[in-house]
Amino acid sequence: MSHKQIVILYHADCPDGFGGAYAAWKKFADTATYIPMKYRQEPPLAEIEGCEVYVVDFCYHQEAMDRILKAARSLVVLDHHEGVQEVVESMPEHVYDANRSGATIAWEYFHPGTPVPKLLKHIEDDDLYRFNLPETRALLAYLSVQPYAFESWDLIARELEEERARGDLIARAEIYLNYFNHLVELSTAHAHPVHFEGHTVLLATAAPIKPLKSAIGHALNQKMPPFGLVVSVHPNGLGVSIRGDGSIDVSSIARKYGGNGHPNSSGFHIPWQLPMPFTSAEHEDPRH
């Protein structure tokens, strides 16, 4: 059991997941234990036994969530991903809202009546694949090279709230965005047409950095709608990110392969021992 009686389980390796953990940290600080979690990991039952537990920006399948509920003293689930609504809403205390991101749901839960920080608004703008706010792409490029450390993010959050500091931060972020754009061009230049789920689309590779995968996926779906596929190599298989143009719900495709996500931005994992679900269309005319 954790020596601290409050445990935050949050979506690992994800700006939105860490943004949700940051929202919790702004309330609990060092009185809580913060544990990054991936969907394929077993729930850390020993660490949460008898604790006040918050699950932020992700949700396991029903059986695993029931085990967490049984082990914890209390449980709150805060999530927004398509396909898990029924599981989230089966928990005694929860917030589910597909129109908000995990970070903003968490902030409004832990800090009711307090304005959502600009940092978390930009994270939501990226995570829901909206890009309605200026500088979102630049800020997420900058965040991708920062450590997942609460103190570092707190400094960035404060800079965004101060007009002069914000200008300096955006100027730094634009430098990273320029390099990101170069990487996007390199990746899309080597994209490969494939048949997948009844569509002929472009597939490219990328490092497992979410803002980079989103930017590449967007470029691909602009070249060949209705979506782009971005593949990242992991020790245990391939991560496949799907970025759509809004004409179809790509989360339904991801769920077919055991993944999840949102209508325009989803993903799934292919273990090495399984066959690839797409086939080459390189020598075919995609217009026919």
pLDDT digits (tens, 9 = 90+) for 207-255: 998 889 999 999 999 999 999 999 999 999 999 999 999 999 999 999 9
Asked whether the whole model's pTM tops 0.85, one would answer yes
Positions of the chain with pLDDT lower than 70, given as ranges: 1-2, 284-288
Q: What percent of the chain has pLDDT over 90?
A: 91
Residues 6+ apart with CB under 8 A from 28: 6, 8
> So what's the pLDDT on residue 288?
44
Q: Which of 128, 74, 77 minimizes the C-alpha distance to 100? A: 128
> So what's the pLDDT on residue 2?
54
What does the domain layout of the chain look like in residue ranges?
A: 6-128, 191-280
What's the chain's average pLDDT?
Answer: 94
> So what's the pLDDT on residue 285?
52
Which whole-number Å values give the CA distances from 115 to 110, 143, 161, in the listed order? Answer: 12, 21, 11
> So what's the pLDDT on residue 284?
62
CATH code, residues 191-280: 3.10.310.30
Instruction: Sheet containing 260-261: give its strands across.
Output: 260-261, 265-271, 237-244, 227-234, 199-205, 192-196, 279-280
> So what's the pLDDT on residue 211?
87
Tens digit of each residue's pLDDT (9 = 90 or more) over 157-184: 999 999 999 999 999 999 999 999 999 9
Tell which CATH architecture fits domain 6-128.
3-Layer(aba) Sandwich (3.40)
> So what's the pLDDT on residue 83?
84
